[in-house]
Structure 1
Amino acid sequence: MVIRDPDPRDEAAWRRLWSGYTEFYQVDVPEAVTALTWSRILDPDGPVFARIAEMDGKIAGFAISTLHPSTWTAGPNCYLEDLFVDQNVRGHGVGGALIDDLLRLAEKKGWDRLYWHTDAGNETARALYDRYTKADNFVRYRIPLSDYIEWGNSERDAIG
């Protein structure tokens, strides 16, 4: 297995896996956002980056992360936003290899923290993640701003 930076020639294989990833989480990511994500991955000056796992000359998985400053640490934090492994090679160490690769990059580049979240019911992923660290007690809140705007001022004013 080889873990490497993506190459523009990887787009079709990445899109195949990306489609499987979004299907797994039952979300519909618009094509424009998928295209933008791929362009962000390839932008060497942007905070979004990806690592590709390749087995036998085929892309077997990916990790997409965002590097950002933190108010709690001096060095950058790496948020592992998306990790996905082709279902045909699950159980062969691809997910762990991608996390291990990020940990090596963190050490090499001086990052202070690597963190991620997953669906509470994703037992397969959690079994892997629990080998690295235990889940913390934080609860995630997320407001898509399109929903917030539609919610309207009267409801916001009524509660606050």
Structure 2
Amino acid sequence: MTQPLIIRPVVQADLLPWTRLWDGYNAFYGRKDQTALADEITQTTWARFFDPLEPVHALVAEHDGQLLGLTHYLYHRSTTQLGLSCYLQDLYTAESARGTGVGRALIEAVYRSAREAGSPRVYWQTHETNTSAMRLYDQVAERSGFLVYRKLM
């Protein structure tokens, strides 16, 4: 990349390129068999990024005017610490930009935001088959050893 990669908060004008990345992210995890995740979910998620009462935040990676990646993270209370935990919920890099440092830059930006917010912990989960992402994750964080269980209601 000749131009610098810019990591910045999402802005209203990013809606269309963010939506393309969001759709790619959801397709990657098999949630996009249909053309789009329920419009209501996407619209609500987008609106939360701009609501100061919501603990949900979004950053994008921009290079030469193009969005190449996104990350969404949120803060929540924990029973095991006083400070808020930071959950990195979504991380996605456009296929054309994978392996160029975009994912690492987005993670590092979440780390900076968490430090600024006084959060002592950033954590996330990924699917066990996402081995290429796990190679990066093993470099920038440690595996907790915890497994995720869920029951959809």
**1:64 alignment partner AA:** H
Aligned residue for 1:133?
A: 141
Which protein shows a greater Rg?
1
Query: Cα distance, 1:62 vs. partner?
Result: 0.6
Task: Note the alpha carbon deviations across 1:29-78, whole angstroms, 9 max, x for none.
Answer: 21110111111122222111111111111111010011111111111111
Matched, 1:10 2:18: no
Q: Give the C-alpha shift of residue 133 in structure 1.
A: 2.2
Code of the aligned partner of 1:24: F
Larger RCO: 1 or 2 (CA < 8 Å, sep 6+)? 2
Written as runs of structure 1 = structure 2, the 5 A alignment for 1:2-81 is: 2-28=6-32, 29-81=37-89
CA–CA separation in structure 2 for the residues paired with 1:139 and 1:107: 26
Between the aligned partners of 1:11 and 1:100, the Cα distance in structure 2 is 23
Instruction: Determine which of 116, 122, 131 is the counterpart of 1:123.
Output: 131
Q: For this pair of structures, how many residues does the alignment match?
A: 145
In the alignment, structure 1 residue 94 sits paired with structure 2 residue 98: no
Higher helix proportion:
1
In structure 2, distance between residues paired with 1:52 and 1:131: 21
Tell me how far apart the structure 1 counterparts of residues 51 and 151 of structure 2 sit (CA, whole Å).
27
Q: Work out the CA distance in 2 between the residues paired with 1:44 and 1:86.
A: 28
TM-score when normalising by structure 2: 0.91
Q: What percentage of residue pairs aligned between the two structures are identical?
A: 39
CA contact 2:73–2:110 (8 Å) conserved in 1: no
Three-state SS of the structure 2 residue aligned to 1:78 is strand
Shift of 1:132: 1.5
Q: Quick one: distance in 2 between partners of 1:2 and 1:44?
A: 23
**Offset at 1:123?**
0.7
Provide the aligned C-alpha RMSD in A: 1.0
Which has the higher mean CA deviation after the structures are superposed, 32-41 or 100-109?
100-109
Do structure 1's residue 103 and structure 2's residue 99 form an aligned pair?
Answer: no
How far has the Cα of 1:135 moved from its partner?
1.6
Gaps of 5+ in 2: none
